[in-house]
A and B are shown apart, each in its own frame.
Chain A
């Protein structure tokens, strides 16, 4: 591919903004200036699917109703560990209104059914004329179990002689849990798997003993986090219509491609015979990347009945079987010199993703601060509980909860402001700016822990995070212009509520000199070009450059047709406000609409795929240079009589490259912060160790914040230009969630002068901690 050189903006406006020359592919557009000089990008543009959402006309998967559609329900194991001796569906089959029954069987020799590994594991399913009938029929299925000993508690599962979840090596069992998992489950003893000792940042470095011997202070602590579940308001589920010529799948998914590939592989179908559609999606947060078990079940029931089948999980099923963020028992030993310099970090962690893998604590301790000596050992502990799944910055939220409190504690030991300590040990230029601007906006003025007096004590805390800039190169966008001047953008990518649909319109509108509302965006359908799943904060950085590039190619085609009419060269043309104009001669112009009307074909189109970053990648698979930084500040008040903690306000300072849509970014950050507050104070999966069942698999007892618990959230957004793609934009979904719980924990410590070391920080745990002080 021919390349050319272009000058790009580079750096942080108001700090170190400059220019840089990059070599870029010839078929990609020239550099955009910074957002100040753009018309559509970087503005508060209304979400292009908001009208459907506020009027109730948006059709989610759960809203799909097809002619002849049946409703399905799955039978789930009611014991946590068992061999299945028999499953008798005869009564269910005879129940009036039942149209199909399917039982999952095992491919293993010697047993007809798969062993039950957790309470809630799906065993069979029924499709019937109504959901009530399907539920009745499921209750008529008789299962004979041979129950076996089980273990739910993480530390119990680690003991020698604990009931084993798997007798054999398990291979890849993770649903994308921790991105840092580098072991495959084949190594390990008992219920332990791993350890993970390296990530794409490398492995152990330096010499720990040497590092600790150089330290003036050494901190040795264990931090604990809970298992919590995603609770997307729309549960996992599908509507599947399996016709002889095609399987059509409506899916509540973060990855249309993932569901298509999963079902094609499961049923050995060609990919072009499976079509997956997701127009509106009611929340994912990491757990909705695959077809799960409900996908194959709905497909089997559709095949058997010859009818479309609706299979959405209920709230209980969602909690127990469709993902959770693994817990962590996170041990950190950190050495530092008097001046704050870190000399050694030793990390060891255990966590359970139930029957799955992915309970590592990520790369935060490995990469956030300068420290020459480092080692990590991250173990998965298998338990008889529902499988974990990716959850907004997998691993790193648990990791940050530990590390960022440890840094706070070291600051305390050194009697220094924790913000000042971070200034000393954090090599990141963008986080330096985030700290400065965030602290100013928050009004950060450090005060010693426990120095507030009175019954209600206020405290402040800060925590930081980093998240990699992942780029998925399998990202393609098609842009079409019709002869009436209308524009359509097409891609298989889905919008899970983050605003992907709107930013696609923005980048295309900016390139074509149009308004965002002039662009129709059709996404969430595998008949359009492939695009990545919505996870890892990948989508914005992956899909907006090809969208802009495809629009640029369409524009070039149009210029080629128009140039002779205007008696000039295509390269001399430009667009603005719907007009095609000569760059130097204002008299030579034509409206885009007139130009399109004179085309030979009814439409012109182009597609583009994500190219490598300008200047290349850190690692060729798509690890880009730079990171997505955040510094979050929290103020809390703690009622020392009742133990209630209230998060009063959060200042969240973030960077995500070139911001594309300010209001949508603010929405994302609000969401990440609120989920972080919830993680710190409220939610927890409560398991009964005696029965293996989840005790709060609902919305009323699974505590989450509502309107009255929402803190004031102040967002500081820092533009950072790095000239790595035609949009230079990145996502913000995960970064928004990483630092919050640690910032809140540090603020609680600052308020009461006692650290809890475990979340959620409930009134009971606060009172317990305060009693310790009195003793």
Chain B
């Protein structure tokens, strides 16, 4: 797959564009007009066909496991994970990309799953909060969240951890400013921020 074609595929069905453009197709029909399925056809719908409003089969790799679901083409990744796969660790709070509670990784990069269409995932690997601990062993950030009491009600915690894990996995010796930058989109109403900062810096230190 050509790199620019792949890029186009990833952005072709962003929810914002979808919501804007899909005003014409009120029943939720989606025209797939890009190279979305230039790969082997295992994941997502084939190129050039229109879908909806009826449910379609969507496949994606989530936390290392290939998942097949039947969902309407308008389904967001957040809804696919929560309502169709039972992966309810990912939370939906604002449902418009303003709070980061629904953060998951696509090929290791944090995205708002409420702003990503399930059909748009394609062959990108999805990682959710349920996939952060490996073989029953907590990630150092998760350990540190427990140690420093970085959860109160806990509803922002999965998204917060996704942001912080991404930081410590990609930046050595992060500073307090780095942590604030990494979590700048994560809304917490209980006010766990000070403990989130401490926990993440502590985890980064232990990972050295």
Contact = CB atoms under 8 A, between A and B. Distances in A.
B96 interface: yes
Interface residues of B, number: 59
Nearest to B190: A671
A54 B157 contact: yes
Contacts of B207: none
Contacts of A496: 153
A94 B148 CA distance: 53
Of B98, B185, B190, B193, the most chain A CB neighbours within 10 A belong to B190
B108 interface: no
B189 A707 contact: no
Contact of B147 (A46, A52, A671, A674): A46
Contact of B148 (A284, A663, A674): A663
Nearest to B155: A282
A671 B192 contact: yes
Interface in B76-107: 82-83, 86-99, 101
B146 A51 contact: yes
A710 B193 contact: yes
A60 B155 contact: yes
Interface in A243-271: none
Contact of B130 (A56, A234, A314): A56
Contacts of B155: 60, 232-234, 282-283
Interface string A635-674: 0000000000000000000000000000110111011111
A260 B181 CA distance: 43
A667 B152 contact: yes
Chain A: interface size category: 35 or more
A584 interface: no
A700 B98 contact: yes
Interface string B139-165: 000100111110111111110010000
B187 interface: yes
Nearest to B151: A53
A273 B138 CA distance: 41
A673 B145 contact: no
Contacts of A671: 152, 190-192
Contacts of B129: 55-56
A50 B145 contact: yes
A132 B52 CA distance: 13
A44 to B, nearest CB: 8
Contacts of B86: 65
A315 B93 contact: yes
Contacts of A283: 152-153, 155, 189-190
Interface in A100-133: 130-132
Interface in B103-135: 128-130, 132-133
A666 B28 CA distance: 48
A700 B16 CA distance: 15
A391 to B, nearest CB: 12
Contact of B128 (A54, A56, A62): A56
Contact of A57 (B83, B130, B153, B179): B130
B184 interface: yes
A643 to B, nearest CB: 22
B183 interface: yes
Contacts of B151: 47, 50, 53-54, 497
Given A47-B151, A497-B190, A698 B146 contact: no
Nearest to B157: A53
Interface string A690-730: 00000000111000101110101100000000000000000
Contacts of A712: 194
B146 A233 contact: no
Given A60-B155, A65-B86, A285 B189 contact: yes
B47 interface: no
Contact of A233 (B87, B189, B193): B189
A55 B88 contact: no
A487 interface: no
Contact of B158 (A56, A280, A284): A56
A283 B188 CA distance: 10
Given A51-B146, A54-B146, 9 more contacts: A46-B147, A65-B88, A497-B153, A666-B195, A667-B149, A698-B94, A707-B184, A707-B193, A710-B194
23 contacts: A44-B149, A49-B154, A50-B146, A51-B146, A54-B138, A55-B129, A56-B87, A63-B82, A63-B88, A65-B88, A232-B155, A233-B99, A233-B188, A280-B154, A282-B153, A315-B95, A498-B152, A670-B191, A670-B193, A698-B98, A706-B184, A707-B186, A710-B193
Interface of A: 44, 46-47, 49-60, 62-63, 65, 130-132, 230-234, 280-285, 314-315, 496-499, 663-664, 666-668, 670-675, 698-700, 704, 706-708, 710, 712-713
Interface of B: 28, 72, 74, 82-83, 86-99, 101, 128-130, 132-133, 138, 142, 145-149, 151-158, 161, 179-181, 183-197
